[in-house]
Amino acid sequence: MDGEVSMNYYYLFSIILTELIMIAMLVHVAKYNGFTKNQKLWYIYTFSAIILCSMSEFVVHCGYYNKSFKILLYILTIAQFSTSPLLGILFSGALGVKNNKKYILIFYGVSILIEAILAPFGLVFYFDDAGYHRGSAFLIYEILFILSLVYLLVSMVLVGRKFKKRDLFTIVMILLIVIAGIIPMAVYRINISYTAIAISACLSYIYYNDLVQQDIQTELIANQERISGMQEHMISGLANMIENRDLETGGHIFRTSLIVKKLSTYVKEEKIYDIDDNFISLMQTLSPLHDIGKILVSDSILRKPGKLTNEEFELMKLHAAKGGEVVQSVLNGVAEKDYLKFASDIATYHHEWWNGTGYPKKLKGEEIPLSARIMAIADVYDALISERCYKKAIKPEEAFKIIKEESGTHFDPKLVDVFLEHCDEFVI
């Protein structure tokens, strides 16, 4: 409809909704810390331009026209027609498209030139006593407007190529929403285009932030995997170094890692204790550090072929008392607190006894961390079935018997029951 338009409350509400959405987006951008200053400015320009254009659209087409305000309406309409073709390019700048300032200047220059040449002759729009009318060259404005939106869609695709994951569905939905807003305006003169643009701008904003967050998450996971790999190599290297000093071949580390993994898995499956897959993974990864405190024990004690004297045994016990401190000093700064505590518990408390007669702190029962109680069974069992410089290996059956006899004294009886129930799995 050219000329006076009857007041349409639905149109009024759509404009109010558009304005509120854009104001909300402006507030969010202002408070959000995930953007650079340059990106924030692009977003502020974009949402502010949509507010200007939608408000101008409403003032001109609200249905109440007073020719005494014709000059003001001319100014508002020129501002709208000069700004709206820039919307897609403004948002492309927020998406990080290179050389976008140059394209803004080109589009704005073309738009101003067209306005300067055609507007005085009423070829794009004009006002008379009846109100607003489209001029014969209005199609030029529509073309510029559509080109700007196409530019935005192309920019979204190009920007998406920089990221590891792209949501093509969102791009298609934005295109459909824009089309759904343009067709009623172009064909039926129903002015909902800026509401559609506002919705599209919000989706574009979400699309870009989703791409950024996915990439950040992917990078965080990759970094965590690299850190985990470094930690595992460090742990393996340290453990092997200690065992080589202890005249071991390194088999103890490998075997105890398998034992604690299997035992922890059965404990989880049978719900003996409330543990999860992360606990099992940590048990397998950190169990090689259980004897790291031996780095403080002299070779003469570690490699002594016979039985240790009481004095020597007291010195040997330092490997547990100081084991947690060694873990903290080695892994501090490259591991999180929970990770450090888990490793420290294993290194410090795996020689504690269920009845409170162990060392270094004589903890009793469930005062002993579960990780250390599991480690204790694995450590003793493997020591029993392995040949050492000071003893011969015994058969697994004999080792199972000893483990059973020490249930409730040395070992957690619940863990012993699980261990013996699946004893065939621990015959290495």
In 109-205, beta strands by DSSP E: 125-128, 131-134
CA distances from 347 to 238, 319, 321, 382 (A): 13, 8, 8, 17
336, HSE (Cβ side, Cα atoms, 13 Å): 6
Rounded to whole angstroms, how far apart are CA atoms 5 and 66? 12
- The predicted structure's pLDDT at residue 1: 41
Give me the residue spans of the domains in the chain: 9-218, 246-426
The reported pLDDT for the residue numbered 8 is 56
In which element (H, E) is residue 211 found?
A: helix 193-245
- pLDDT in tens for each of the 428 residues of the chain? 443 344 456 667 778 888 888 888 888 888 887 777 887 888 888 889 888 888 887 787 666 667 778 888 888 888 888 888 788 788 777 777 777 788 888 888 888 888 778 877 888 888 887 777 878 888 887 788 778 878 877 877 777 666 555 556 666 766 677 677 666 666 666 566 777 777 777 777 777 777 667 777 777 778 777 777 777 777 777 777 776 666 554 588 889 999 999 999 999 999 999 999 999 999 998 998 898 888 888 878 877 777 888 888 888 888 888 888 888 887 776 677 888 899 999 999 999 999 999 999 999 999 999 999 999 999 999 999 988 766 788 999 999 999 999 999 999 999 999 999 999 998 87
Pick the CATH number of 246-426 from 3.10.530.10, 1.10.3720.10, 3.40.30.10, 1.10.3210.10: 1.10.3210.10
Residue (of 373, 394, 375, 370) closest to 384 by Cα position: 394
User: Hey, how many other C-beta atoms are within 10 angstroms of the C-beta on 269?
Assistant: 9
pLDDT of residue 189: 60
In angstroms, the CA 338 to CA 112 distance is 62
Q: How far apart are CA 156 and CA 142, in angstroms?
A: 21
Provide the token pair at 174. 């934005």
| Dihedral angle over CA of 413, 417, 419, 421, nearest 10 | 170
**pLDDT for res 192:** 67
Structure tokens at 112: 């101003």
- Structurally, what CATH architecture does the domain formed by 9-218 represent? Up-down Bundle (1.20)
